[in-house]
């Protein structure tokens, strides 16, 4: 993902798309690498503006996250605060800590809100100022839309997009899943496992992904039987391995739409499975906030879920999308055959 900047306004306009929502009272650190006149974007860090007694601690935390991953250049945008160029003490502390960690910071910016027509200002050069272009029509915004990214007005609106189905629907779906698990256990007791179980599960998942890819403006209909079968499939260990491959494939964006639907549709604890893969897909695409929201959902559904726990630690330590892609590529190389019909991890835990 490359970012082309002609002035500070282009950077401010990119911030809502980098975060997937319009931030308020936030400090945003965009890690970048120069790439033939553009900037290749790495991890994007957003934190609430600090209270006076937390200036040093928060600046040190952000600088440490950048240093751990070898960041050499960063762009800083302060959004909000009591007035123009407010929180200068925090900005000075942050830049000092970043510089000490070997990170170059050019022209840290302040803006009241990251919206069209707003005036931005530079902390380093008082005469360096301008207006913010429309964030929704910049080349960067168009590129993000092509990737399938969606921008929300607030973080709360983003979280609301993953709100679960009504309780009575989830309760009915949970009963269906319980019945399917019971059938698996009975087959296991009779040594009647299906040797083609993995292939059938992956046909089910790939078929759904293809439908989401074809329906770019609408959401395909998934009846109750398909929803239950998809949710059960995702709890299987070998299916998880195949889903790692999907996360780094050309089907990744369509898969994110399917994982989103399944996250809304799943009862607890099965909800953790699609939420984990939604978080993975979001992080790989640079949607850090969506990744955090999806991980919150996964861990609320199953606090000990191994993938969610590991991914939370990785995201908190600012693992770059490139690093995660490399790990998933290796993890998906040998998922291993299914030996009999296993009990879903989320149920047996």
| Domain presence at residue 301 | yes
Q: pLDDT band for position 135 (50/70/90)? A: confident
For 19, residues 6+ apart whose C-beta sits below 8 A from its C-beta are: 28, 44, 46, 288, 289
Tell me the CA end-to-end span of the chain in Å, nearest whole number: 39
Per-residue pLDDT at 218 = 79
Residue 21 per-residue DSSP state? B
State whether 113 and 216 are in the same domain. no
Task: Choose one of 89, 120, 151: the last residue of a domain.
Answer: 151
Mean pLDDT of 331-337: 58
Mean pLDDT of 15-27: 89
- Quote the CA–CA distance of 265 and 273 in Å, as a whole number: 12
- Look at residues 75, 4, 67 and name the one whose alpha carbon lies nearest to residue 35: 4
State whether 268 and 226 are in the same domain. yes
The two tokens of residue 131 are 């207006």
- Quote the CA–CA distance of 41 and 34 in Å, as a whole number: 9
| Domain presence at residue 157 | no
Structural domain containing residue 66: 2-151
State whether 261 and 117 are in the same domain. no
- Quote the CA–CA distance of 288 and 45 in Å, as a whole number: 8
226-278: pLDDT as tens digits: 999 999 999 888 898 899 999 999 999 899 999 999 999 999 999 999 999 99
Mean pLDDT of 172-191: 84
Per-residue pLDDT at 27 = 95
Residue 18 preceded by cis peptide, ω within 30? no
Task: Choose one of 96, 121, 151: the last residue of a domain.
Answer: 151
Res. 332: pLDDT tops 70: no
pTM to 2 decimal places: 0.69
Percent of the chain with pLDDT over 90: 52
Q: pLDDT band for position 169 (50/70/90)? A: very high
- What's the number of domains the chain is made of? 2
- Look at residues 112, 110, 94 and name the one whose alpha carbon lies nearest to residue 45: 94
| Domain presence at residue 33 | yes
- Quote the CA–CA distance of 5 and 193 in Å, as a whole number: 58
Percent of the chain with pLDDT over 70: 89
The two tokens of residue 33 are 């690498």
State whether 102 and 185 are in the same domain. no
Q: pLDDT band for position 347 (50/70/90)? A: very low
Res. 339: pLDDT tops 60: no
As a residue count, the chain comes to: 349
- Look at residues 77, 61, 68, 59 and name the one whose alpha carbon lies nearest to residue 14: 77
- Quote the CA–CA distance of 98 and 29 in Å, as a whole number: 11
State whether 172 and 145 are in the same domain. no
Q: What is the CATH number of the domain that holds 13?
A: 3.40.140.10
State whether 196 and 268 are in the same domain. yes
Q: For residue 150, with 0-12 CB atoms within 10 Å meaning exposed, 13-18 middle and 19 or more buried, which class applies?
A: middle
Per-residue pLDDT at 37 = 59
- Look at residues 14, 27, 93, 25 and name the one whose alpha carbon lies nearest to residue 56: 93
């Amino acid at each position: 993902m490359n970012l082309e900047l002609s002035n500070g306004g282009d950077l401010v306009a990119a911030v809502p798309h980098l975060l997937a929502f319009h931030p308020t009272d936030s400090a945003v650190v965009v890690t970048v690498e120069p790439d033939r006149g553009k900037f290749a974007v790495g991890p994007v860090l957003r934190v609430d503006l600090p209270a006076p007694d937390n200036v040093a601690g928060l600046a040190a935390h952000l600088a440490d996250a950048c240093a751990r991953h070898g960041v050499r250049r960063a762009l800083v945008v302060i959004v909000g605060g009591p007035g123009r160029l407010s929180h200068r003490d925090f900005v000075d502390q942050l830049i000092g800590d970043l510089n000490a960690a070997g990170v170059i910071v050019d022209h840290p910016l302040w803006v009241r809100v990251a919206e069209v027509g707003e005036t931005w200002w530079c902390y380093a050069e008082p005469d360096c100022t301008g207006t913010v272009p429309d964030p929704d029509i910049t080349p960067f915004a168009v590129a993000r839309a092509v990737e399938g990214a969606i921008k929300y007005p607030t973080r709360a609106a983003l979280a609301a997009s993953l709100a679960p189905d009504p309780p009575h629907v989830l309760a009915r779906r949970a009963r269906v899943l319980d019945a399917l698990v019971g059938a698996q256990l009975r087959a296991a007791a009779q040594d009647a496992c299906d040797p083609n179980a993995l292939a059938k599960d992956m046909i089910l998942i790939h078929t759904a992904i293809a439908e989401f890819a074809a329906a770019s403006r609408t959401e395909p209909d998934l009846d109750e039987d398909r929803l239950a079968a998809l949710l059960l499939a995702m709890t299987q260990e070998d299916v998880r391995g195949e889903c790692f491959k999907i996360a780094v494939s050309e089907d990744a964006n369509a898969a994110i739409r399917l994982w989103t639907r399944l996250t809304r549709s799943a009862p607890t604890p099965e909800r953790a499975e699609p939420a984990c893969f939604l978080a993975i897909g979001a992080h790989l695409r640079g949607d850090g906030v969506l990744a955090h929201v999806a991980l919150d959902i996964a861990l609320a559904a199953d606090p000990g879920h191994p993938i969610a726990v590991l991914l939370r630690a990785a995201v908190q330590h600012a693992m770059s999308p490139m690093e995660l892609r490399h790990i998933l590529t290796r993890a998906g190389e040998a998922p291993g055959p299914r030996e009999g019909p296993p009990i879903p991890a989320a149920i047996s835990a």
